[in-house]
Structure 1
Amino acid sequence: MTSYQIEQKDIDVLGTNAKIIYTLSFEHASRHLVDISMEIHDIDQQSITVGLPVWMPGSYKIRDMIMHLGNINVYGMNGEHVKWHWHSKSSFIIETIGISSLRISYTYYANEKGVRSSHINRNHAYIVPVGTLLYVENRIDEIHHVIINRNPDQWPKITTALSPVSTKSDHIYGALNYHILLDSPIEIGNHQVLSFTLDNSLHELAIISKIPVDGNWLLEEIKRAVLIEKEFWGDLPYDRYVFFLLVAEGQRGGLEHLRCNVSAVEPSAFSDKVAAQQMMSLLVHEFFHTWNVKRIRPIELGPFDYTKENYTSMLWLAEGFTSYYDDYLSYRAGFYSQSEYLNILAQSHLGRLARVPGRFAMSIKDSSYLAWVKLYSMSPDQNNRFPSYYVKGGIITLLLDMLIIIKSNGNKRLEHALQQMYSLYKINPHTGFTENQIIEIIENSCEVSIQSELIHWLNGKDELPYHDIFSAFGLQWSDSASISQFDFYGELRPFLQKPEFVFCGWGIREESGKLFIRDIEEGTPSAEAGIGIDDEIIAINGVRVSSIKALQDCMNANGIDKKADIIAHSDGIIYNTSLKPIKQHSYSLTINHNLSSEQKHLLDYWLLRS
């Protein structure tokens, strides 16, 4: 491989020829199947190796997607069978002595909805190329074409970040290389498509939903997000970009791609204000990846080895930075008010990390390195051992941004360093950044020294210095116990003092009228009581509990620091234990009264909107 090329404009592919061509057919779509034919030409070796990636960029887990691929046959162009044999679990070798062209046929089963998986039925086809389209070893840098055979009366629309090969056909698409191909999902069906143009770049919104949703409203909000992020970075690095949105019950999450992103939300995102704000933060997050991780990336993440884990200790850059800026830029875009943004930081960032004892057990760099076996395979005990590089990484980025503002006296911020990283990427797009390079760029761009603090935060397992940093901005971080309040009726007549909400440190799942322990937080009353994951909670103080609400009511009625007797069940044996609940903590990040002029200057600079 001579270089790592990920930039593609539609005009680059128009009129091209390819020696590697896939044809996708959907005669058996109702059975969740796609039939794939792959032609390979200009073969000049005695054998070639063909395979499917075992993981996908942006999702650091071995997924072995070839498990859904079958019925492999290899033919010469005249229909004669060609010998082949398995080389590994995800690759096979084809004997090609005297053969210059061949065709591979196979079937792929796709029946899993989500941002990382292909899904096909009689209504549509969503194709994730990284999990469905084979590569030819040592020919990844070549142009690849994809032909989509479908009934246009049944499935009239095709939306993809792949580029059209012809202006006369709507079913042949291409990529300059396999890296771009595998990172370009395809939606085929009758989905809703809307678009707008900003700075001569076309933006498409493809909404995949069985229920009607207000796409026009969402398009306007996405316009605002794109404008804010364009102002942040300085330009848009593409000619066309696609926002795919899957709307369905039980769906959530997102995955970034080179010229698109795929996000999933529940229908409530179009009817509930909080859910809508969360959707916009998700879209901002995935769009931010267009620059950060796809272009500004750890040196280990591109070019990729698709046959095994690609380890890096720098996912704090890829995901931590992005996890800070998703809500920050959502605030800058106006999706959050100032008070809402501070509350989001307190509850969803700082408060969330406060409930992860694993932050004292593992550094964020180790968390990143072990993402392949930790983050996407979370055990019920994982929070006690493992801090997410999303959550802790985002908070470290918050503190780093504030530290730069403090040391520059409100003249520089982290985004200035990110803009410089983007400029350096454009000079040398083939190579990522090392940790030392990132630190050097930050210090040179912002004209401050941050190396000792950042390295300590990345390698350390102690509590982060919230109070020291926040106090310079006149901010007060509190994780104090919640205070009981009154309910009122009529003309503010006191009716009932709300019970103090208690905290036991357990997570509960409800199954068919039974309550089971989902997780236990280390160092909490439930852990000290010896209650285990998957134990069943039967009764509290002699009262049978069969719903989460009943359990909460019993524990709240028991009160703070008073022993609650518990009857529980573990592996067929009943046991008795007790615990003393403590007060439920309440997290807040508030602006102090009577700010000094210096505090106000720094706070205003940090919260400045464009």
Structure 2
Amino acid sequence: MKKIVLFSSIALLLISMSNMAGAAGKAQISYTLTFPEAQAHYVDVEMRVKGLAQQTTSLKMPVWTPGSYLVREFSKNVESFSAWHGGDRLTAGKTSKNTWQINTAGVTELTVKYRVYAFEISVRTAFVDASHAFLSTSGIFMYPQGMLDQPSTIKIIPYKGWDKVSTSLATVGKDPFTVTAPNYDILFDSPIEVGNQDIFDFDVDGTHYEVAMYGGGNYDKERLKVDMAKIIREQASIFGENPNKRYVFIVHNFQRGGGGLEHLSSTVLGASRDGYGDEKGYQGFLELVAHEHFHLWNVKRLRPIALGPFDYEKENYTTNLWIAEGFTAYFEGKVIRHAQMYPVETYLTSLAADINGIENSQGAKVQSASESSFDAWIKYYRPDENSSNSSVSYYSKGAVIGYLMDLEIINSSNGKYSLNDVMNYMYNEYYKTRKRGYTDAEFKAGVEKFAGKNFDDFYKKYVYGVEPVDNTKYLGYAGYKLVNELADNNAPSLGIATSKGDGIVVTAVARNGAAWVDGINVNDEITAIDGAAVTDLNAVINSKKPGDNINVTVIRDGRQLVLPVTLLKATRVRYKIEPVDNASEKQLTVRKKWLKL
């Protein structure tokens, strides 16, 4: 009986889906955006759907945006929802946190009106004010349930004084303020910048690039054109092609800015408007360009199998963000080095910083790269006072795994192959030929194909496990070694981080440090050491030695406590990478391939 009931339920579901698909096939969807109160951070959306045939129509708002693995609940910013057929208001109401259901019995078309409050500055959230509108599309546009594959048209009526639109979406005719998307996956992957942004462009081997700069800055357009082109050309050489004919960089320049979010044919970058003038700031911007542009292959096309087609209503879990993001972090530096834009010393200093980050991470001893990837939805974007003890970044751990794999492949193949060949093969095999994402096992097999050896033990240690990384072994392949500049340091340590405001307030306690062992807590305010008031904690601690016993006076929840603490030796490392003496011929071969000497 249960089997019969189940079959009947499935049959009804298929009939329902078929009816919806039929309705969706006839649907015409369009949006009109206006900004009557841009100064108050609102965009008004009018959505029209024609060709309906169902009794009810449900509209949904995504709860997250691809590339940023956190449920952000974009529907919280929606106000004043109403549905209309001509001049008649239709019955409508919310049925879930991100779903509005409309009674469309006997109605073939409807108009929906709603407002979105947009006042969060980031590369992944919408922001509107009188100077511009950044439309992070997954937080602006609702979609009809069951119609993600449908095209749509967006008409933008700009706020007063705005005269430019920058987006990778195709224009309708010659009107730059009317654009179209072939489906919602493309629409939600195509941010839109509207305002008076400074636009410059250039071409790289048949691909046209537009750079839209909002917020001003001390950037040199001609220098950026040359250097961005070098990065783009080097990256395309890894994969054998640039799949885009047109690509858009949207750059938001603020007093302090950072971060980026990749898209299929565009990216959004955050930068400091006055940071282009010094070499460190300029180099940092180029690294951001290299990172996000590399994603047009790695993630947007070559991707873990869970990352597409997307479910926009819940988490999309993968254990491979250490590849998707971590490898991209590794290649951002490698690409710049291979384009001869980094001296070798600068590249090795950057790599050493990644290694130091992992070696000094207590969380790296607890959480694996695979676990970090899977738990991104609940941990990476929601750090707390204990995150440094309990988690590791899939960016930094993935970057370290990337360099280990690269050197293993180069060494095992005697300089014939590198991680570049793995990425090229995986891109062509899975994105272009099989037209799908890869599984954990398939990516591992791709690595083994070019290394010519089994990677079971490697994955057990470094991907699924938390064993300390054998940097000496892998750097040794290229004739390099790690030197700990703090090796002779015998400084004492409390093992805490403190705030820089009024008072000395503990903000983090390192696992197994002196404070951890003897009970100093986050939010404790340290007022005295051995009965003497303290204003410069570092100076007091540095006057001691490991093993010394001190009494730490703290204020906790309004009460004074005196905690006996035994200072421990600081365990922090600071590695630099140096060449070994008398490198062998094979080591020099590996080094040449790895660093493109």
TM-score, normalized by the shorter chain, greater than 0.5:
yes
Once residues 330 and 443 of structure 1 are traced to their aligned partners in structure 2, the CA distance between those partners, rounded to angstroms, is 26
Once residues 267 and 529 of structure 1 are traced to their aligned partners in structure 2, the CA distance between those partners, rounded to angstroms, is 45
Aligned residue among 132, 135, 149 for 2:157? 149
Aligned to 2:579: 591
Aligned to 1:515: 504
Aligned 1:569-584 pairs, distance under 5 A: 569-577=555-563, 578-580=565-567, 582-583=569-570
Once residues 481 and 47 of structure 2 are traced to their aligned partners in structure 1, the CA distance between those partners, rounded to angstroms, is 60
Equivalent AA in structure 2 for residue 374 of structure 1? K
Once residues 130 and 605 of structure 1 are traced to their aligned partners in structure 2, the CA distance between those partners, rounded to angstroms, is 42
Once residues 473 and 585 of structure 2 are traced to their aligned partners in structure 1, the CA distance between those partners, rounded to angstroms, is 18
Once residues 502 and 214 of structure 1 are traced to their aligned partners in structure 2, the CA distance between those partners, rounded to angstroms, is 47
Aligned to 1:69: 78
Structure 2's unaligned 5+ residue stretches are 1-25
Aligned to 1:307: 313
Aligned residue among 355, 359, 369 for 1:354? 359
Once residues 284 and 545 of structure 1 are traced to their aligned partners in structure 2, the CA distance between those partners, rounded to angstroms, is 46
C-alpha contact 1:207 1:215 (8 A) present in aligned 2: no
Aligned residue among 29, 33, 56 for 1:24? 33
Aligned to 2:271: 265
Equivalent AA in structure 1 for residue 171 of structure 2? P
Q: 1:544 to 1:337 in 2, by over 3 A?
A: farther
CA drift of 1:562 comes to 4.4
Aligned 1:401-550 pairs, distance under 5 A: 401-428=406-433, 430-479=435-484, 481=486, 503-511=493-501, 513-540=502-529, 544-546=533-535, 550=536
Aligned to 2:188: 182
Once residues 172 and 186 of structure 2 are traced to their aligned partners in structure 1, the CA distance between those partners, rounded to angstroms, is 15
Q: 1:232 to 1:430 in 2, by over 3 A?
A: closer
CA drift of 1:302 comes to 0.2
Return the TM-score normalized by structure 2: 0.91
Once residues 216 and 352 of structure 2 are traced to their aligned partners in structure 1, the CA distance between those partners, rounded to angstroms, is 35
Aligned residue among 91, 99, 118 for 1:83? 91
1:162 aligns with 2:169: yes
C-alpha contact 2:216 2:273 (8 A) present in aligned 1: no
Q: State the Cα deviation string for residues 497-548 of structure 1 (Å, max 9, x = none).
A: xxx866442222122x2221121111223323321111112234555444xx
Q: 1:563 to 1:209 in 2, by over 3 A?
A: farther
Aligned to 1:13: none
Equivalent AA in structure 1 for residue 552 of structure 2? I
1:229 aligns with 2:235: yes
Q: 1:560 to 1:248 in 2, by over 3 A?
A: farther
CA drift of 1:427 comes to 3.1
Structure 1's unaligned 5+ residue stretches are 1-16, 485-499
Aligned residue among 191, 195, 198 for 1:192? 198
Q: 1:235 to 1:372 in 2, by over 3 A?
A: same
Deviates more, 1:475-484 or 1:362-371: 475-484
Aligned to 1:388: 393
Aligned to 2:145: 137
Aligned to 2:21: none
Once residues 209 and 313 of structure 1 are traced to their aligned partners in structure 2, the CA distance between those partners, rounded to angstroms, is 37
CA drift of 1:456 comes to 3.7
Aligned to 2:133: 125
Q: 1:288 to 1:571 in 2, by over 3 A?
A: same
Aligned to 1:5: none
Equivalent AA in structure 1 for residue 425 of structure 2? Q
C-alpha contact 2:136 2:191 (8 A) present in aligned 1: yes
Equivalent AA in structure 2 for residue 580 of structure 1? L
C-alpha contact 2:304 2:324 (8 A) present in aligned 1: yes
C-alpha contact 1:110 1:118 (8 A) present in aligned 2: yes
Once residues 429 and 271 of structure 1 are traced to their aligned partners in structure 2, the CA distance between those partners, rounded to angstroms, is 45
Aligned residue among 548, 552, 568 for 2:554? 568
Equivalent AA in structure 2 for residue 520 of structure 1? V
1:397 aligns with 2:402: yes
Return the TM-score normalized by structure 1: 0.89
Q: 1:601 to 1:504 in 2, by over 3 A?
A: farther
Q: 1:446 to 1:471 in 2, by over 3 A?
A: closer
Q: 1:331 to 1:525 in 2, by over 3 A?
A: farther
Q: 1:386 to 1:86 in 2, by over 3 A?
A: same
Equivalent AA in structure 1 for residue 554 of structure 2? A
Equivalent AA in structure 2 for residue 582 of structure 1? K
1:102 aligns with 2:88: no
CA RMSD, Structure 1 to Structure 2 (Å): 2.1
Aligned residue among 325, 328, 337 for 2:334? 328
Aligned to 1:371: 376
Once residues 340 and 563 of structure 1 are traced to their aligned partners in structure 2, the CA distance between those partners, rounded to angstroms, is 42
C-alpha contact 1:417 1:446 (8 A) present in aligned 2: no
Aligned to 1:54: 63
Q: Name the SS for the 1:56 alignment partner.
A: coil
Q: 1:252 to 1:543 in 2, by over 3 A?
A: farther
Aligned to 1:11: none
Q: 1:502 to 1:154 in 2, by over 3 A?
A: farther
Once residues 26 and 180 of structure 1 are traced to their aligned partners in structure 2, the CA distance between those partners, rounded to angstroms, is 24
Aligned to 1:9: none
Once residues 289 and 38 of structure 1 are traced to their aligned partners in structure 2, the CA distance between those partners, rounded to angstroms, is 31
Aligned to 1:496: none
Once residues 487 and 383 of structure 2 are traced to their aligned partners in structure 1, the CA distance between those partners, rounded to angstroms, is 30
C-alpha contact 1:555 1:581 (8 A) present in aligned 2: no
C-alpha contact 2:218 2:277 (8 A) present in aligned 1: no
Identity of aligned residues (%): 29
Q: Name the SS for the 2:292 alignment partner.
A: helix
Deviates more, 1:443-452 or 1:518-527: 443-452
Q: Name the SS for the 1:147 alignment partner.
A: strand
Once residues 529 and 286 of structure 2 are traced to their aligned partners in structure 1, the CA distance between those partners, rounded to angstroms, is 41
C-alpha contact 1:18 1:145 (8 A) present in aligned 2: no
CA drift of 1:214 comes to 3.2
Deviates more, 1:293-302 or 1:460-469: 460-469
Once residues 524 and 206 of structure 2 are traced to their aligned partners in structure 1, the CA distance between those partners, rounded to angstroms, is 59
C-alpha contact 1:25 1:149 (8 A) present in aligned 2: yes
Equivalent AA in structure 1 for residue 120 of structure 2? E
Q: 1:538 to 1:62 in 2, by over 3 A?
A: same
Q: Name the SS for the 1:416 alignment partner.
A: helix
Q: State the Cα deviation string for residues 373-416 of structure 1 (Å, max 9, x = none).
A: 01000111012111221111111111111111121111111110
C-alpha contact 2:202 2:209 (8 A) present in aligned 1: yes
Q: Name the SS for the 1:66 alignment partner.
A: helix
Q: Name the SS for the 1:374 alignment partner.
A: coil
C-alpha contact 1:416 1:446 (8 A) present in aligned 2: no
Aligned to 2:538: 552
Equivalent AA in structure 2 for residue 155 of structure 1? W
